[in-house]
Each structure stands twice: as structure tokens, then as C-alpha cells.
Amino acid sequence: MAGWRVQAVDLTGRTAELLGLSPHGALFLGCALEDKADRWIRDGGGLVFPAIPELPFDSYRGTLYTAEELYAGLDRGYEATPDARVYAWSRQHDEHGDTSRTLATALHDHAIADALHELPDTGPWVGVMGGHGIARTESAYRAAVLLGRGLARAGLTVVTGGGPGAMEAANLGASLAGYDDEAVDAALASLAAAPSFRPSITDWATTGLAVRRAYPGDGGVSVPTWFYGHEPPNVFAASIAKYFSNALREDVLLSRARGGILYLPGAAGTVQEIFQAVTPNYYGDPATQIPLILVGVQHWTVELPVWPLLQSLAADRPLASSIRLVDTIDEAAALVS
């Protein structure tokens, strides 16, 4: 078994097979093992990382999350779902020096990164960032839906930060890539019954799941975080890579979107994501530049004047070739499609 890496596999009932192999150099992460097999592996030079008890999540999970998994039990209210219970656990145990908590979450985030890396290649990833406060009834939400649909139709994989607002709209749009404008109108009309996750996450998520069932499709990827657990993950992404560490989540999210990143109007979180992505472009050479496209001239020049600062940073550097400011989603989509 030298070189084996076995993660989150139930091996009870497989003891006879394991005893017939040399365990030297093997690694078992969170696997269910009978005592005899566990001793055989350890005594024979293998490593066994046991499951951590009393956690509301699996630190060694081998796959990304789905909306159905995170929102299981929603009929009893959002507080009963795994997503809410994990967030409550993280708040309760988020204490300085709690090494058991930090170890469990670090192992979990490592497993999520591994599962994300193993996703099938379905086309270049294009990130869509934007504010979580956009209501489902706003014109900006519909615009983001059409943006996500257009990107998916162009063969691109839509990846978002996974939250409500613009992020939800982009994942919804990707899931509607195979549908016409009438379906978009019908989906938005249904979602209008719960325009925001406030005051009720239960109503918001229940309405979203009903639309997902009515119009099934591949909504791309989302990368949310329990660090901002008050912002629930949207239900329209096909694969959900939810992290505990926001810093790691941001780095993974931005580094994977090699096809470009579109920034819809947002606030502090979106501004942070802009400059986190700008930094490697600023120090990179022409071959490493990722397109960074800000959507909304008024927003990014007057309301939050990020664009003038970006222009100053980009002067006489390769960064100048990778940043763009446009006013419409059609202009933005054309730059990455």
C-alpha cells in the first residue's frame, strides 16, 4: 500500500483484505477501520488520522457540498440544517487557543481544496463577484442572471463567492443556460416571493430550492465561507466548496478563475476581492495577467472610486493590459467569452 492515500472511506468489513497487504507508506484520513486493521496499519508503518468526534461536519470529506446537503432539514427551519449547525459550532468554538477547533477546521478546508481540485474540467472558470444585498426583485439581479446565463452558454464555468445577491444571480443564470427568456421571467417571478434572506433564511432558501427543482441545470461552482455565516449559501451552484477560513477561500476562489473575474457593484467584500486579485497581476509579467473587469462606471468611479486607484497602480506596468471598466454586462461578457 505504499503511496496509498485513502480518505473518508468505510473499511469496516475489509479487514481481511487489509491484512493481506503491507501498510508501510500508506495514509488513511478519517476512514472507518476495525481495531485489528487499525493496529495492523499503525504497526506496519502506515499513518492513520482518525475521525474527530463530536463535530457537526466531516473533517475528511471527499467531495464538495451540494445545496441539498447543506439545507437538509430545512422544513424544520434553517436552524435545523447542517449549514446553520456548523456555523453555530464555529461561533461557539471560535476562541483563541482552541487547538482542537483549529485542527478540525484546517483538516476540513484541506479536504475541500482537494475535492475542488478534482472537479472535472468543464471549461475555463470565470469569476463573478458582487454585493450580497441585491434583492431578487431588482433589475441588477436580473442583469446578473443574464450575465451568468451568457457566460455558461459560451462554454465557461461560472464561479462565485456563493452568497446571496449578485452571486446567487450569477449561479442561477448559469443553471438557466439551457432555458429561454420566458423561463428566466418565471424563475424570477417565483423568487420574488422571498426577495432577500432577511428576515427569513428559511423562506429565502425554500423558495430558491423550489425554483431549482422546477428548472434543473448546472449552476457552476460557488465558494462560500462560514466566516460570513450570517450570509447563507445560495442553492443554485452545482458544486459548493464551503470553507471555514475566509482568507483561504478568497485565495482559492480568485486563483481558480483563470478565465477572468467580473466585479459587479458591491461594497467592502467586493473591494477586498478586487485588490486581492490585482496584487498578483501588479507583480506579474504579461503572460500571467488575468482579466479583471469592473462593471458599473458610476459605482466604481464615484460611489466607490476604485477605478482611479487601479489606473494609478497600473501605470507603466503589465497590469494596465488586464483591467477594464465597462458599464453593461454585455460589454463585460464580451471581454471574457
pTM for this entry: 0.93
Percent of the chain with pLDDT over 70: 99
Percent of the chain with pLDDT over 90: 89
- CA proximity to 13, closest of 41, 32, 40, 39: 32
Angle at CA of residue 295, ends 294 and 298, nearest 5°: 105
Residue 252 within any structural domain of the chain: yes
Q: In the prediction, which pLDDT does 99 show?
A: 80
Structural domain ending residue among the three candidates 51, 69, 91: 51
**Lowest-confidence segment of 19-33, 67-81, 113-127, 134-148 by average pLDDT:** 113-127
The verdict on 8 and 156 lying in the same domain is no
Rounded to 5 degrees, φ, ψ at 262 are -105, 130
Residue 125 DSSP class: E
The verdict on 3 and 141 lying in the same domain is no
Q: In the prediction, which pLDDT does 283 show?
A: 96
- What total number of domains does the chain contain? 2
* Cβ neighbour number for residue 49 with a 10 Å cutoff: 14
- CA proximity to 115, closest of 70, 61, 66, 71: 61
Confidence of residue 96 (pLDDT cuts 50, 70, 90): low
Q: In the prediction, which pLDDT does 97 show?
A: 61
Alpha helix stretches (DSSP H) within the chain: 15-19, 35-43, 67-70, 82-92, 99-117, 139-153, 166-175, 181-191, 201-214, 246-256, 268-283, 297-298, 306-314, 329-336
Over range 279-291, report the average pLDDT.
Answer: 94
The verdict on 318 and 206 lying in the same domain is yes
- Domain range for 14: 1-51
Q: In the prediction, which pLDDT does 95 show?
A: 61
Statement: residue 129 has pLDDT above 80: yes
Q: In the prediction, which pLDDT does 280 show?
A: 93
Residue 255 within any structural domain of the chain: yes
33/132 Cα distance (integer angstroms): 43
Query: How many residues does the structure list for the chain?
Result: 337
Q: Exposure pattern of 214-249 as b/e (b: 16+ CB <10 Å)? A: ebebbbbbbbbbbbbbebbbbbbbbbbbbbbbbebb
Statement: residue 274 has pLDDT above 70: yes
Over range 209-222, report the average pLDDT.
Answer: 98
Q: In the prediction, which pLDDT does 92 show?
A: 84
* Residue 205 one-letter amino acid: A
Q: Are strands 125-129 and 292-295 parallel, antiparallel or unpaired?
A: unpaired
Residue 178 within any structural domain of the chain: yes
The verdict on 35 and 150 lying in the same domain is no
121 versus 137: the higher-pLDDT residue is 137
The verdict on 240 and 153 lying in the same domain is yes
Residues in contact with 33: Cβ distance below 8 Å, sequence separation at least 6, in sequence order: 11, 12, 15, 18, 41, 48
Rounded mean pLDDT of the chain? 95
The per-residue pLDDT for range 318-329, each reduced to its tens digit, is 999 999 999 999
Q: Exposure pattern of 11-39 as b/e (b: 16+ CB <10 Å)? A: beeebeebeeeebeebbbbbbbbeeebbe
Residue 68 within any structural domain of the chain: no
201/52 Cα distance (integer angstroms): 30
Cβ(240)–Cβ(271) below 8 Å: no
- CA proximity to 207, closest of 109, 137, 143, 279: 137
The verdict on 39 and 184 lying in the same domain is no
Residue 182 within any structural domain of the chain: yes
Residue 180 within any structural domain of the chain: yes
Statement: residue 204 has pLDDT above 70: yes
The verdict on 271 and 133 lying in the same domain is yes
Statement: residue 121 has pLDDT above 90: no
Cβ(263)–Cβ(274) below 8 Å: yes
The verdict on 176 and 313 lying in the same domain is yes
Over range 246-257, report the average pLDDT.
Answer: 89
Statement: residue 254 has pLDDT above 90: no
Residue 192 within any structural domain of the chain: yes
The verdict on 151 and 261 lying in the same domain is yes
Q: Is the peptide bond before 199 cis (omega within 30 degrees of 0)?
A: yes
Over range 225-231, report the average pLDDT.
Answer: 93
Residue 273 within any structural domain of the chain: yes
Statement: residue 94 has pLDDT above 70: no
Q: Assign residue 267 the CATH number of its domain.
A: 3.40.50.450
Helix axis angle, 201-214 to 166-175, nearest 10°: 20
Name residue 326's beta-bridge partners.
295
Q: In the prediction, which pLDDT does 123 show?
A: 87
The per-residue pLDDT for range 11-65, each reduced to its tens digit, is 999 999 999 999 999 999 999 999 999 999 999 999 999 888 889 999 999 999 9
Cα-atom radius of gyration of the chain, to the nearest Å?
22
